[in-house]
Structure 1
Amino acid sequence: MIKSIKSRELRVGMYVQKLDCAWVDHPFLVNSFHLKNEKMLNKVIAAGIENIDIDTSKGLDVLVVEPEQKTPPQTPPPVTKKKKKKIPVSKEERKARAIYKDGTNIIRNMMEDVRLGKQVEVESVNPVAEKVVQSIFRNPHALTGITRIKTKDEYTFMHCVSVTGLMVMFARYLKFSKEDIHEVAIGSLVHDIGKIMVPDKVLNKPGKLNFDEFEVMKDHVTFSREILENNPAISQMALDVAVLHHERMDGSGYPRGLAGDEISLVGQMSAIVDVYDALTSVRVYKDAWEPSQALKSMIEWSPGHFSRELVQQFIQCLGIYPVGSLVELKSGRVGIVLEQNDEEILRPKIRIIYNAKSKYYVEVNDIDLSKETKDRITAAISPKKYNIELSVFL
């Protein structure tokens, strides 16, 4: 969507479609570009350009600021509206499980329609997209914790829902508008729709793909584009999520080999989220990585594969110990991270399930480390260390 705004409304992450001046009168080589840092923002302001057209389908929208209400001096100041409290994970879990199940079923059915050559009704994902957005806004950790649990047979469908939760959480963290977050959710749900056209022997091969097989696998993005690009229910922002999530910042990705700012912001975000979810999931050819291991590797792969700045923001969004991580405490207790504490990021809420000293499972107990002054996390650990099956406790 094209919007005309004033220069004072510009912010990093927007996509500038047009500057209200001749090409020779501004300091950029092109008229349309992604505003990726403060330096570029300052150049626009320094050039004295007042009116700018932005494309909200390719970048961030305008921040909506409520107008300040003027109060007569003789009256007391208005009561400050309290920030809406986050619903506890325990109260959101039931709804999150239902969303995960419904989303998985809808994606499975949609992909089956594609396989059978039927008309794809992309509109059918709208209700699930909205439910994911609502769940993340109520509590960003319930759905993203539950979607860590996947089965090998259902991975492709579950992965789509899991990526959606993470993308909505990330977009919310980056202060996208509610409208844009919904478009991100739609694009994420259908981002791998073309995989149904890949032969099962390639898609579910329990080992590394050879060169020819990988070339076949890469075709899924082209299939997705063909299915989605002319569908009126798919915005440009949603399409970018689907067709750009395998592009890389250094141009080494596919299918087009785009690099740097040629990849839209949501395209860069979806590349990060897609890889993170794939690494931390059990696949037919590998075990799941621990979240901390995945994030450390992704930092090492930046800025080649990913925007380092965006990866760091994604880590801040997830927290030091992402939801679903298994951690060991100084006391010997072992638990699963349920929810972050925004004020104390090193002391999240945890579900205690095991005692490392006695080597026994214990009665499940949810604790808030921010309220326990004597205990603390000493390490993020692999479930294999104590043969723990996380799915039993989530």
Structure 2
Amino acid sequence: MSEPAESVDLIKLPVSQLTLGMFVSAIDKSDKGQLAITNAGQIKHKDAIVRLAKNGIKFVWVDTERSAEHCGFKKKISNNIPTSKKSQLTREKQQEQAQVILTEAKDLIRKVLAETFEGKAIEVKPFETLADSMIESVFLDEDALKCMSALRSKDAYLLEHSVNVAFLLVTFGKYLKLDREMLREMAVGGILHDIGKIKVDNKVLHKPGKLTPEEFEHMKLHQVYALDIMNETTGLSQISKDICLMHHEKLDGRGYPRGLKGDEIPRHGRMSCIVDIFDALTATRCYKEAMSPAAAFKILLSLTPFHLDRELVYEFIRCIGVYPVGSLVELSDGRIGIVWASKDRDALHPIVKCFYSLKAKRYTEVTMVDLLKSELHIERGVSPSSLDIDPTPFY
């Protein structure tokens, strides 16, 4: 079995070579194409090694970064990232880092929403710093940030939606090979894209049902409010303003606030329309459950070519993948799992972290299933709301 994609610090060792202090990250079940990770931890007693051998385990994956120094492992060096970041992070550490970025982002947005409500001007610099951290995280480990972004709460929709739109714009822009300055400006625009909603009546903003025509017209005013806020913000690039002010425009000219049409909407503006709709569809709201990414993709395609740019929608689907990292899937054996890693793989064969059996209706041993090494396949994508379980602890 090839090395798991989640960390280049993992090495495969026979159980006979294990010593005290080594950190066992996964148990290799090569005959089943699986990695069991329920027994992860540092070996502190020889009895643990004896138990592995008695249970018929021949190989394990050892995390060299988390093993004791006396084990003699040397850190691996990657040539793909700057020297200052050569020490590779494990998936757990990468997700912790991603969680810090997302928490900082939500805290900053919460603070700015409060200040904007009080009539204070927005300072752009903190958002640029946050955008830089987000871009760096995407370039280091896109999958870790995707997994963290998949954890959502309907009560914090406005905050999480703004962060996810920024993250998706960076991911999409990186896929399209846009330069870093462009990515930064798009990220800032994504974070601020719904800033005008701070002035929308809360009864309309959080209504748990379909809006009346009058309420919808009031909701649309958030773009008018956003225009006023953008005009009072110094140092904000035109691209950031475009992301904020164009994500409700339509190619046929029937969007708002300005009714732009066709080429009047630049590519980054069209990207913001796609990303905004996709994230809204895949989020749980007070009035609807979350859709699976696959179902959301179908809706995006149905909105072309009159609303959305068809070519860009196809590019977005290729970028995110049919089964995005962090999404839930059902395997052909009836198990539910989280798409855990997809880098350098085709869309249909990611690594899936399985934790629940639909057939048995119970939680199972947590295992990593490498679909390139297994006879199993993905049966379908599922939305969290369609299951009677909480997948949050397994991210």
Q: What range is the shorter-chain TM-score in?
A: 0.7 to 0.9
Is the Cα–Cα contact under 8 Å of residues 161 and 188 in structure 1 kept in the other structure? yes
Match of 1:310 in 2: 312
In structure 2, do the counterparts of structure 1 residues 101 and 172 end up closer, same or farther at CA, with 3 Å as the change threshold?
same
Q: Cα offset for 1:362?
A: 1.2
- Which AA in structure 1 matches 2:375? K
Q: Deviations over 1:345-384 (max 9, x none)?
A: 21112111112232210132333322x2322212222334
Relative contact order (C-alpha < 8 Å, sep 6+): which is higher?
2
- Which AA in structure 2 matches 1:235? S
- Which AA in structure 2 matches 1:375? L
Q: Deviations over 1:302-332 (max 9, x none)?
A: 1111001000000000012112221111222
- Which AA in structure 1 matches 2:111? N
- The number of equivalent residue pairs is 313
Is the Cα–Cα contact under 8 Å of residues 149 and 281 in structure 1 kept in the other structure? no
Match of 1:327 in 2: 329
Between the aligned residues of both structures, percent identity stands at 41
Is the Cα–Cα contact under 8 Å of residues 123 and 234 in structure 2 kept in the other structure? no
| Aligned Cα root-mean-square deviation (Å) | 1.9
CA distance in 1 between counterparts of 2:345 and 2:90 reads: 16
Counterpart secondary structure, 1:164: helix
- Equivalent of residue 195 in structure 2, options 174, 193, 210: 193
CA distance in 2 between counterparts of 1:226 and 1:144 reads: 33
Counterpart secondary structure, 1:342: coil
- Equivalent of residue 263 in structure 1, options 253, 262, 265: 265
CA distance in 2 between counterparts of 1:91 and 1:320 reads: 26
Q: Cα offset for 1:241?
A: 0.4
Match of 2:96 in 1: 94
CA distance in 1 between counterparts of 2:231 and 2:371 reads: 47
CA distance in 1 between counterparts of 2:391 and 2:236 reads: 36
Runs (4+) of structure 1 exceeding 6 A deviation are: 85-88
Are 2:121 and 1:119 equivalent residues in the alignment? yes
Structure 2 unaligned spans of 5+: 1-77
TM-score by length of 1: 0.75
Match of 1:151 in 2: 153
- Which AA in structure 2 matches 1:257? G
Match of 1:375 in 2: 376
Is the Cα–Cα contact under 8 Å of residues 245 and 270 in structure 1 kept in the other structure? yes
Is the Cα–Cα contact under 8 Å of residues 144 and 166 in structure 1 kept in the other structure? no
CA distance in 2 between counterparts of 1:214 and 1:324 reads: 32
Structure 1 unaligned spans of 5+: 1-80
Is the Cα–Cα contact under 8 Å of residues 88 and 139 in structure 1 kept in the other structure? no
- Show the 5 A alignment for 1:122-141: 122-141=124-143
- Equivalent of residue 338 in structure 1, options 337, 340, 344: 340
In structure 2, do the counterparts of structure 1 residues 120 and 383 end up closer, same or farther at CA, with 3 Å as the change threshold?
closer
- Which AA in structure 2 matches 1:140? E
Is the Cα–Cα contact under 8 Å of residues 89 and 339 in structure 1 kept in the other structure? no
Q: Cα offset for 1:89?
A: 4.3
Counterpart secondary structure, 2:379: strand
In structure 2, do the counterparts of structure 1 residues 233 and 217 end up closer, same or farther at CA, with 3 Å as the change threshold?
same
- Which AA in structure 2 matches 1:111? L
CA distance in 2 between counterparts of 1:304 and 1:391 reads: 37
Counterpart secondary structure, 1:335: strand
Are 2:283 and 1:281 equivalent residues in the alignment? yes
CA distance in 2 between counterparts of 1:301 and 1:207 reads: 22
- Which AA in structure 2 matches 1:369? L
Match of 1:30 in 2: none
Q: Deviations over 1:173-213 (max 9, x none)?
A: 01100111111111111111111011111111111111111
